[in-house]
Structure 1
Amino acid sequence: MRSSNPVFSRRGFSRDNGGYAGFDAQHQQAGTATNPYATNPYATDPATGMPQAPVRANAMTMDDVVSRTGMTLGVLILTAALSWILLPVDPANLGKSYAIGIGAALVAFVLAMVQSFKRKPVPALILGYAALEGVFLGVISAATSTYLSPGVVIQAVMGTMCVFAAVLLAYKMGWIRVNRRFTGFVMAAAMGFILLMVANSLFAIFGGGDGLGFRSGGLGLLFGAIGVILGACFLALDFKQVEDGLAYGAPREEAWLAAFGLTLTLVWIYLEMLRIFQILSGDD
């Protein structure tokens, strides 16, 4: 299936030119009317419940997903820690550190966009995104810890881990069913959320303050909670994407795509959590 992230649209697992998914256009056409995942090259045959794709010798495994995700998150955490240590956030240097952090975030955005339009995952782009995003997160987290409370960052990290664990449990227990309706609702909600945040940022830039007030006070808490819920929904889409790839023979290289998607979603959730705890700490 096609899965998407709150920030960047990305493709799901796809067939290569050789058609490794193992079924032809006739199968696709026959399944379209009855199978909501008919566009998925790894979709289940609605009549038999069995995979339509043959098992591949170089198919992706859970170990591949875990190792690639661990590597990507490890790079992000490492650069975040280094930027926290090496980029001072005292009043005399805060502006410079913020400039470096924002610059790194913009380049990370470009790398993520390039990867999202690639037919195949490119590890160098994914790891480059993780490294630069880590710089941004390190600066933001260091400033938050310095000018608010060290506990705010720890709370945001713990909150992100709890959301991940809760969604994984709910998904494995079958409490969350990812289908076309779920995907469409999440995508529409995320688009509206992003547009509101962009509008709020523009008003803040040109009007000063917090713009429309969506990121401070009671509204800030409400929209922060909505952001976390959307991130949780995208985690469910990521889990479904990984599950489909494992079940229906995605090539091993596609584990990088899973790592990329999970990293993007976890960064989203962490930033929303950080904002929520900032507001609760008294900094609107």
Structure 2
Amino acid sequence: MRFRRMNPVYRYADYGNATVYDGDAASYSGVVTKTSILLGIIAVVAFYANIRLQAFGFNNGLIITLILAPIIAIIAVIVAHRRPEVAMFASIVYALMEGLFIGVISTIYAIYFGDQIVQMAVLSTFGVLFGMLFLYSTGIIRVGAFFRRLMFSLLIGLLFTSIIMMIVFLFAGSFVGGFENIYFAVVVISVVVSSLYLLIDFDNITKFVEAGAPKNMEWSLALGLVVTIVWLYIELLRLFAIIMDRR
């Protein structure tokens, strides 16, 4: 049985064929455990990055970190989805790089807006996570082909809009005219879309586990969910920053 998967960042990532497996099969508890491990690594590395920045301040290596860490993380995600047999190693690499990136970004936001913005983003992220899990498990929102196509269309629209706004920002030096309001709207929509993409990740996990996918698929499934959680956290950081800046 084959399932088409649309990750919020890497649509082309594919787990391949999930067929009933004679050996150890993927389980919900296994996915939950591995998701917890990856989130734990991200949290520890982010905390370490925060401590280092507070102790030694910003330097030239900071920009390099902000560029290289996401690139390595993207490569790790692609490898994990293409090669499930090495998904554990690739997932850990992703968690390390993303933890470093989030640690730096969170510290920057905390410096400008106070430590409470990070706490708000973390609490809100897990609040949305469990809220979406409730909506999915109770069947209030069902994930079908139309829902997936809609979410992907919204994602593409957000990407193009973000690129256009970035170009305007680079040439104008700042957001001009009504672009500030457009930017706020884009961030709000991004929060909504990233939240709804959690439902797609839950549905992917359900389908693979019920299909009897092999045990090593748990790392790929967990990584897909973590990618969405990280995306949601960053969007919430941006949203709270805009709200606090407008006060």
Q: TM-score, normalised by structure 2?
A: 0.89
Contact 1:89 / 1:97 at 8 angstroms: preserved in 2? no
Contact 2:7 / 2:13 at 8 angstroms: preserved in 1? no
Cα displacement (A) at 1:14: 3.2
Identify the residue that residue 6 of structure 1 maps to in structure 2. 8
Q: Find the partner of 2:203 among 237, 240, 244.
A: 240
The alignment-based identity, stated in percent, is: 27
Q: Whose Rg is larger?
A: 1
Cα displacement (A) at 1:277: 0.4
Distance 2:76 2:178 in 1: 31
Contact 1:144 / 1:153 at 8 angstroms: preserved in 2? yes
Is 2:142 the partner of 1:177? yes
Which residues of 2 match residues 101-250 of structure 1 at below 5 A? 101-118=66-83, 122-210=87-175, 217-250=180-213
**Runs of at least 5 residues in structure 2 that lack an aligned partner in the other structure:** none
- Higher relative contact order (Cα pairs below 8 Å, separated by 6+ residues): 2
Identify the residue that residue 26 of structure 1 maps to in structure 2. none
Over the aligned positions, Cα root-mean-square deviation in angstroms equals 2.4
Structure 1 runs (4+) greater than 6 angstroms displaced: none
Change (3 A) 1:200 1:14: same
1:196-236, Cα deviation, whole Å (9 max, x unpaired): 1122223323332147976xx43333212211111122111
Q: TM-score, normalised by structure 1?
A: 0.78
Contact 2:26 / 2:217 at 8 angstroms: preserved in 1? yes
Identify the residue that residue 230 of structure 2 maps to in structure 1. 267
Distance 1:142 1:283 in 2: 20
Cα displacement (A) at 1:158: 1.1
Q: Find the partner of 1:81 among 35, 43, 47.
A: 47
Contact 1:238 / 1:262 at 8 angstroms: preserved in 2? yes
Is 2:35 the partner of 1:69? yes
Amino acid at match of 2:5: S
Contact 1:4 / 1:11 at 8 angstroms: preserved in 2? yes
Aligned residues: 245
1:131-180, Cα deviation, whole Å (9 max, x unpaired): 11111110110111112111111111111111101110000110111111
Change (3 A) 1:61 1:195: same
Cα displacement (A) at 1:283: 6.4
Contact 1:69 / 1:260 at 8 angstroms: preserved in 2? yes
Distance 1:248 1:63 in 2: 15
Cα displacement (A) at 1:66: 1.1
Distance 2:170 2:80 in 1: 29
1:281 alignment partner, SS class: helix
Distance 2:182 2:127 in 1: 23
